[in-house]
Amino acid sequence: MKEVKAPKRPLIYYYCIVLLIILLFNMIVTPMLSQSQVTEVDYGTFMDMIEEQDIGIVQVEDTQIIFTDKAETTVYKTSPMEDPTLTQRLHESGAVFDRVIEEPVSPLWTLFLTLVLPILIFVGLGQYMSKKLMEQAGGGKGSMAFGMGKSNAKVYVQSTKGIRFSDVAGEDEAKESLWEIVDYLHNPEKYTQAGAAMPKGILLVGPPGTGKTMLAKAVAGEANVPFFSISGSEFVEMFVGMGASKVRDLFRQAKEKAPCIVFIDEIDAIGQKRSSGSVSGGNDEREQTLNQLLTEMDGFEENTGVIILAATNRPEALDPALTRPGRFDRRVPVELPDLAGREAILKVHAKKIKAAEDVDFHTIARMAAGASGAELANMINEAALRAVRSGRTVVNQSDLEESIEVVIAGYQKKNAVLSDQEKKVVSYHEIGHALVAALQDHSAPVQKITIIPRTSGALGYTMQVDAGDKYLLTKEEIENKIATYTGGRAAEEVAFGQITTGASNDIEQATKLARAMIARYGMSQDFDMVAMETVQNQYLGGDASLACSPQTQKEIDQKVVELVKTQHAKARKLLEDNREKLDELAAFLYEKETITGEEFMRILTGGEQK
């Protein structure tokens, strides 16, 4: 996508040039101007003029002698010579010593040249430049000096090269709702004849990196109309009032170019609930900007052809005024891709690289559960980089699998040296997770176990991959998951009788699950189906806030502890009962450092290895 931007040089740049010109002017031209009216003569002529008594005023200096003729019409100058009687003879010729020779350039003229003219040039140029900048920014008169307060909305020139819906993989529901907009922009009469009005604003909501920006661009691309794009945070600028003026400007430009798409990314930056009394000073400014946006949206008629798309991942934080009918009254969810969607996204991005014939995108998509479109695009790129690093031009399956781990767990740490004992502990820990998972029903199969440290700080990890997407979890499945998280530490206890710090992430995850079970999913008998907490940012990790009395909170905490304890004990029991397998698998992992799920299962079920 090509982006055409007005070439803007900072104004200071032009001022510097003008300043330089003026300096040069003062240093070279002005002296030349004044000197050009002084006639330089040789010493002989000077002597002759003394003889003829034709000297008017004279000034004898160290390096030059300046004099006039008797009528004082011309100024002469000559170089001095060793001449002791000069003064005497000059005096006799009637020359005048006590008057200063007037500059041939009049003082008024000098004043004009050195002071007035530069200022005129300065101001003139400044005005010219600012006008020019405003024109370039697409504006006319009105706005503040120097083009400040002009919106930075970038105009994307649409051509057949523009992004199409076909570039956005998955997201079929979103595309369907947006297709109507494209159809309307192609054929507005069809809608106006039926008396149907297009929504003025459409809100794309979903987690980051799911292709909201891409979809908005695709709408413009499909409809072949200009695409204005600005981020909500760009409105909130350093100067108060600037945001509102930017909004005004954006809409003026958009109306000129209608039909067109205006895309406001991160609209929550300006559209936050006004009541939420933030203490920050920028609040007023944000409110002004929001009010201006609301005014503009109300201001233009339906069916003008200006369609406003906005994206946010915090829809619950938006001011209700924004989502009222007549404003952003349509909401299009753009969710994280499902298995099929992930595979499609991988394939779209894989077109940019050279992938080996046998690459299995279905498996990759399965491994990358929960990844957003942006993360998947990143994974493909990481895989290509990995291929280049190992001197290949074709990307193979292992590149892709490794790149998933890179995106999920960070790079392999090349020079982290674990002591022998540490390596042993980590082996037991990871096998503990895998074994507990495998010994329970309804656990996702183990895909890979590794004890190669990652830059993210993980010393090893066990990757479990569900066969398909899971939308519903039973109580038992969650309990098993908790048990699996505790399995790492349980293995350390069983094998070494002591525990390490290696389980901090496990503890966090297990606690989260246990708490959700009780407070959110209503899976404890005592609380039944009463919601104890509500999810806050469902698209940004889903922080929960408690909504219950302190006493209930205490009970929840107790229940969480109980739950995790029970599962921990269960995991330890499982491992104790399978101590031989634990030892065997841990030794195998210790030696190999990375083992696949198949190797793991072979040892677990058969044990014919070695």
Question: Active-site residues: which are they?
Answer: 430
Nearest approach in angstroms of CB 495 to Zn ion is: 14
**Site stretch for ligand ADP (CB under 6 A), options 23-31, 203-211, 283-291, 522-530:** 203-211
Which residues, other chains included, contact 289 with Cβ-Cβ below 8 Å and sequence gap of 6+? 235, 236, 243, 244, 246, 247, 270
Residue 208 interacting with ligand ADP (CB under 6 A): yes
* Binding residues for ligand ADP restricted to 578-607, rule: CB under 6 A: none
User: Considering beta carbons, is residue 332 or 564 the nearer one to ligand ADP?
Assistant: 332
Q: Which residue is nearest to Zn ion (CB)?
A: 488
Q: How many residues bind ligand ADP (CB under 6 A)?
A: 17
User: Considering beta carbons, is residue 55 or 384 the nearer one to ligand ADP?
Assistant: 384
Nearest approach in angstroms of CB 498 to Zn ion is: 16
Binds ligand ADP by CB under 6 A, chosen from 68, 130, 143, 213: 213
Q: Could you tell me if 237 and 286 are in contact, meaning their C-beta atoms sit under 8 angstroms apart?
A: no
Residue 368 interacting with ligand ADP (CB under 6 A): no
Residue 591 C-alpha from the chain's centroid: 43
Q: Could you tell me if 537 and 268 are in contact, meaning their C-beta atoms sit under 8 angstroms apart?
A: no
Contacts 24+ apart (CB under 8 A), 588-592: 589/427, 589/430, 589/431, 589/449, 589/451, 590/423, 590/424, 590/427, 590/451
Phi, psi angles (nearest 5°) of residue 473:
-115, 135
Question: CA-to-CA distance for 345 and 336, rounded, in angstroms?
Answer: 11
Q: Which residues pair with 309 in a beta bridge?
A: 202, 263
Residue 432 interacting with ligand ADP (CB under 6 A): no
Bond from prior residue into 259 cis (ω within 30 degrees of 0): yes
Residue 333 contact partner, candidates Zn ion, ligand ADP, none, CB within 5 to 8 A by sort of partner: none
Q: CA of 432: how far to CAs of 52, 216, 419, 429, 492, in Å?
A: 121, 47, 20, 5, 8
**552 residue type, one letter:** T
Residue 212 interacting with ligand ADP (CB under 6 A): yes
User: Considering beta carbons, is residue 134 or 491 the nearer one to Zn ion?
Assistant: 491
Question: CA-to-CA distance for 267 and 311, rounded, in angstroms?
Answer: 6
Nearest approach in angstroms of CB 438 to ligand ADP is: 34
Nearest approach in angstroms of CB 505 to Zn ion is: 7
User: Considering beta carbons, is residue 380 or 574 the nearer one to ligand ADP?
Assistant: 380
User: Considering beta carbons, is residue 67 or 165 the nearer one to ligand ADP?
Assistant: 165
Residue 348 contact partner, candidates ligand ADP, Zn ion, none, CB within 5 to 8 A by sort of partner: ligand ADP
Q: Where are the beta strands (DSSP E) in 461-555?
A: 461-464, 533-535, 544-546
**Site stretch for ligand ADP (CB under 6 A), options 71-79, 83-91, 210-218, 254-262:** 210-218
Nearest approach in angstroms of CB 161 to ligand ADP is: 15
For residue 417, the SS3 value is coil
Residue 317 interacting with ligand ADP (CB under 6 A): no
For residue 434, the SS3 value is helix
Residue 578 contact partner, candidates ligand ADP, Zn ion, none, CB within 5 to 8 A by sort of partner: none
Nearest approach in angstroms of CB 337 to ligand ADP is: 6
Binds ligand ADP by CB under 6 A, chosen from 11, 60, 339, 374: 374
Residue 209 interacting with ligand ADP (CB under 6 A): yes
**Site stretch for ligand ADP (CB under 6 A), options 6-14, 71-79, 207-215, 241-249:** 207-215
Nearest approach in angstroms of CB 577 to Zn ion is: 20
Residue 342 interacting with ligand ADP (CB under 6 A): no
Alpha helices (H) along 58-171: 86-92, 107-111, 117-136
Q: CA of 195: how far to CAs of 179, 188, 189, 190, 191, in Å?
A: 19, 11, 9, 9, 6
Residue 229 interacting with ligand ADP (CB under 6 A): no
**Site stretch for ligand ADP (CB under 6 A), options 209-217, 449-457, 530-538, 549-557:** 209-217
**460 residue type, one letter:** G
Question: CA-to-CA distance for 113 and 103, rounded, in angstroms?
Answer: 14
Residue 311 interacting with ligand ADP (CB under 6 A): yes
Residue 488 contact partner, candidates Zn ion, ligand ADP, none, CB within 5 to 8 A by sort of partner: Zn ion
Per CB under 5 A, residues contacting Zn ion are 488, 506
User: Considering beta carbons, is residue 90 or 383 the nearer one to ligand ADP?
Assistant: 383
Residue 348 interacting with ligand ADP (CB under 6 A): yes
The dihedral built from the CA positions of residue 152, 158, 164 and 165, taken in this order, carries a sign that is positive
Question: CA-to-CA distance for 443 and 486, rounded, in angstroms?
Answer: 14
User: Considering beta carbons, is residue 130 or 213 the nearer one to ligand ADP?
Assistant: 213
User: Considering beta carbons, is residue 348 or 355 the nearer one to ligand ADP?
Assistant: 348
Question: CA-to-CA distance for 582 and 68, rounded, in angstroms?
Answer: 115
* Binding residues for ligand ADP restricted to 139-178, rule: CB under 6 A: 168-171
Question: CA-to-CA distance for 502 and 426, rounded, in angstroms?
Answer: 8
The dihedral built from the CA positions of residue 152, 158, 161 and 164, taken in this order, carries a sign that is positive
Q: Could you tell me if 243 and 210 are in contact, meaning their C-beta atoms sit under 8 angstroms apart?
A: no
User: Considering beta carbons, is residue 250 or 264 the nearer one to ligand ADP?
Assistant: 264
Residues in contact with ligand ADP by the rule CB under 6 A: 168-171, 208-214, 311, 345, 348, 373-374, 377
